[in-house]
Structure 1
Amino acid sequence: MNRRTFTLSLLALSASAAVVGLSGCGFELRRAPNLAFKSVQLAGFAANSPLAAELAKALEDAGVSVVESTAAAAAQQNVPASGAASSPRILSTHVVLQALSDTREQAVASITAFSQVRDLSLRTRFRFQLTRADGTLLILPTELLLTNDLPYNEKDALAKIDESAAMHRAMQTDIVQQVMRRLAVVRPEQLATP
């Protein structure tokens, strides 16, 4: 056996040992949650809400259709639109995620002795509820609030604007992940008609 073959064999053996070691400790790559519903309507968001766009993408990645209305969900399942809100098939597969508030805030956190801004406090707040197509609450109104402080210097004002926008995007992504984890808690029994 030559040196190169021996080295490649050693690398393959160590890689397989690492995979076995990681699988034994419970390590698993993050993947989209398994959701109990098949379609969702995003309601109450502003027309150009970046949070709604990112949430819609996360839901579609999880295999859920994002529709404009309950009637659109009914059309996908070939249910007449007239009885869509009370159809057992729609009630057991369709939900409405209602945004109650979606705001980004920025406030002065601290100032210097010369009354110059030293730190800014950035907040991203999202309040929502989840209902079945007939209006039955599945998730009570829930508020998610993330806050980050940003050191501020007037000499770097333009750079700080870009940095605050990047921090808001990161907080938005965190909120989307938290919403997805809350949606994953909904069980099929909750969607079934009584």
Structure 2
Amino acid sequence: MFKMQFSKAQNAGHLLAQVRGYALLVLAACALSACGFHLRGSTGKTSLPFKSIYVALPESSPLGAELKRNLRAGGDTTVVADPKAAQVVMEVLSEAKNKQILSLNSQGRVREYSLTYTLVFRVKDSQEREVLAPTEITLKRAISYNENQALANESEEALLYRDIQTDLVQQLMRRLGALRLAP
């Protein structure tokens, strides 16, 4: 009989611990929502301070294609094919990818590379006034290298450059969203 009462008390204690756990979880969720915390979300969903833009990048450019796709997904901003028809023009002054040796192993062979993607751009309005002075964005990633897996290293490098490009487009979208146009 004593074992049976101990078992019931143990079950009640376990149930009480579960209820406390759920209560703490609900309390934490309420506290997070009350403090104003929210995920950043996609910057492409915010409205931009201009109605039309011309992006001076070739149609074959992967960066240009991804940037235009994000601009179109943004809502009320249209990407136009003629710079004269645009409210703002984004000019790319330079775009460069670079690969440098980051570290060597004890035999003097490459162990890591540093991948760098640099973009310099500016934004002008329809009256050729600079809305955003020439701005440089440089993103870097480190990649390990194994000479026995050359094909896998090339694939990883291409994947990292695509990742860098996606980050670059998100930074461009944030900077374009922060522009202040003169009336």
Class of the TM-score when normalised by the shorter of the 2 chains:
0.7 to 0.9
- Do the aligned partners of 1:125 and 1:145 also contact (CA within 8 Å) in 2? yes
Residue 53 (structure 2) pairs with residue 60 (structure 1): no
CA separation of 1:18/1:54 partners in 2, compared to 1, >3 Å: closer, same or farther? farther
- Greater C-alpha radius of gyration: 2
Q: How far, CA to CA, are the matches of 1:172 and 1:115 in structure 2?
A: 31
Q: Which amino acid aligns with 1:28?
A: H
Report 1:109-188 matches (<5 A). Answer: 109-187=102-180
Gaps of 5+ in 2: 1-18
- Do the aligned partners of 1:129 and 1:139 also contact (CA within 8 Å) in 2? yes
- Tell me the SS of whatever aligns to 1:181: helix
Q: Which amino acid aligns with 2:127?
A: D
- Do the aligned partners of 1:33 and 1:180 also contact (CA within 8 Å) in 2? no
How far apart are residue 72 of structure 1 and its match? 4.3
- Do the aligned partners of 1:33 and 1:181 also contact (CA within 8 Å) in 2? no
How far apart are residue 65 of structure 1 and its match? 0.6
Q: How far, CA to CA, are the matches of 1:18 and 1:69 in structure 2?
A: 52
The aligned residue for residue 48 of structure 2 is 35
CA separation of 1:16/1:111 partners in 2, compared to 1, >3 Å: closer, same or farther? closer
Q: Which amino acid aligns with 2:33?
A: S
Spell out, residue by residue over 1:66-96, the C-alpha distance to the aligned partner (whole angstroms, 9 max, x if none): 11113444xxxxxxxxxxxxxxxxxxxx100
Q: How far, CA to CA, are the matches of 1:121 and 1:100 in structure 2?
A: 23
The aligned residue for residue 99 of structure 1 is 92
Percent identical residues: 37
- Do the aligned partners of 2:59 and 2:65 also contact (CA within 8 Å) in 1? no
How far apart are residue 25 of structure 1 and its match? 2.4
Q: Which amino acid aligns with 1:99?
A: V
- TM-score computed with the length of structure 2 as normaliser: 0.77
Gaps of 5+ in 1: 1-9, 74-93
- Do the aligned partners of 1:104 and 1:125 also contact (CA within 8 Å) in 2? yes
Q: How far, CA to CA, are the matches of 1:178 and 1:184 in structure 2?
A: 10
Residue 172 (structure 2) pairs with residue 191 (structure 1): no
- Do the aligned partners of 1:95 and 1:130 also contact (CA within 8 Å) in 2? yes
Q: How far, CA to CA, are the matches of 2:79 and 2:157 in structure 1?
A: 30
Spell out, residue by residue over 1:37-82, the C-alpha distance to the aligned partner (whole angstroms, 9 max, x if none): 0110001x24411111111111111121111113444xxxxxxxxx
- Do the aligned partners of 2:84 and 2:126 also contact (CA within 8 Å) in 1? no
CA separation of 1:157/1:141 partners in 2, compared to 1, >3 Å: closer, same or farther? same
CA separation of 1:154/1:38 partners in 2, compared to 1, >3 Å: closer, same or farther? same
| Total equivalences in the alignment | 158
Q: How far, CA to CA, are the matches of 1:42 and 1:128 in structure 2?
A: 10
The aligned residue for residue 90 of structure 1 is none
Runs of 4+ aligned residues of structure 1 deviating over 3 Å after TM superposition are 13-22, 70-73
Q: How far, CA to CA, are the matches of 2:126 and 2:26 in structure 1?
A: 49
